[in-house]
């Protein structure tokens, strides 16, 4: 969802273009209306359903008229991602890095659940709502004292974990069934030479997988592991 480092918006940025005065009649629709139409289509039928023609149909206009607002589907995807980012809620920062980052990461996971297409809707153009998300994450990591490069890289890693985890959830994968599940892995040990894996399971006394690991715990563990790598002593 986010690039490692922000760059100055190019002159052709979608949101900057929207602020430019244009000749001709007043636009009949807003970028927000386009975004709502796109998100509705993607939520119902997936990202592939979003096209200039389908969006125009949803708005009751001609596809050609949309080029007054956007240059093509890439712009539509950027609008969609930013529209979904408007669903974040930002409680006051506590100053505790783990608490503040995890609170936002949990929201991000819920956004991906509500909008499964979000995991594959990559865009490098940040709109105003995405910028607010980025700003809040910078604030959440501020107590670590990291420099700008490390902070932005950390945000990229955290966002990447959320996206990857959410994509696996959307595909029906879960922590308890990873690799086929503990029982499957144990059974496979009898059919090949896997000394390191066999040693690990033996050290568990044959109880590997006996303690349930749910997706919620796996998600939080990933965030905490990343935070330890990003800032070992937050």
Average pLDDT over residues 33-52: 95
pLDDT: which is higher, 52 or 193: 52
Architecture of domain 14-173+218-230: Orthogonal Bundle (1.10)
Could you give the CA distance from residue 7 to residue 9 in angstroms, rounded to a whole number?
A: 6
Q: Please tell me what DSSP assigns to residue 87.
A: T
Cite the residue boundaries of each domain of the chain with CATH code 1.10.357.10: 14-173+218-230
* Mean of per-residue pLDDT scores for the chain: 84
**pLDDT tens per residue across span 63-75:** 988 888 888 899 9
**How confident is the model over 157-166, as a mean pLDDT?**
92
Query: Could you tell me the maximum CA-CA distance found in the chain, to the nearest angstrom?
Result: 76
pTM of the prediction? 0.79
d(CA 165, CA 53): 32
The answer on pLDDT for 3 being more than 50 is: no
Block residue for tokens 């959410």: 166
Judge contact between 163 and 84, C-beta under 8 A: no
**% of the chain beyond a pLDDT of 70:** 81
DSSP secondary structure letter of residue 224: H
pLDDT band (50, 70, 90) for residue 169: confident
Q: Give 211-232 pLDDT, tens digit per residue.
A: 556 888 889 999 999 999 998 7
Residue closest to 154 by CA, chosen among 60, 55, 228: 228
């Amino acid at each position: 969802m986010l690039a490692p480092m922000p760059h100055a918006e190019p002159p052709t940025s979608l949101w900057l273009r929207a602020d430019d005065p244009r000749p001709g009649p007043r636009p009949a629709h807003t970028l927000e209306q386009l975004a709502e139409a796109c998100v509705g289509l993607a939520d119902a039928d997936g990202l592939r359903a979003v096209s200039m023609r389908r969006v125009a149909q949803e708005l009751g206009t001609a596809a050609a008229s949309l080029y007054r607002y956007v240059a093509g589907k890439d712009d539509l995807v950027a609008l969609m991602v930013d529209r979904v980012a408007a669903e974040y809620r930002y409680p006051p920062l506590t100053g505790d890095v783990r608490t503040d980052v995890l609170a936002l990461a949990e929201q991000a996971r819920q956004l991906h659940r509500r909008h499964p297409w979000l995991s594959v809707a990559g865009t490098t153009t940040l709109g105003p709502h995405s910028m607010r998300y980025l700003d809040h994450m910078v604030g959440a990591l501020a107590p670590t004292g990291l420099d700008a490069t490390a902070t932005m890289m950390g945000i990229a890693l955290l966002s990447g974990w959320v996206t990857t985890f959410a994509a696996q959830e959307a595909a029906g994968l879960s922590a308890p069934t990873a690799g086929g599940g503990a029982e499957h892995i144990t059974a496979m040990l009898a059919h090949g030479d896997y000394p390191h894996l066999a040693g690990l399971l033996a050290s568990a006394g044959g109880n590997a997988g006996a303690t349930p690991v749910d997706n919620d715990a796996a998600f939080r563990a990933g965030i905490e592991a990343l935070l330890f790598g990003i800032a070992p002593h937050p």
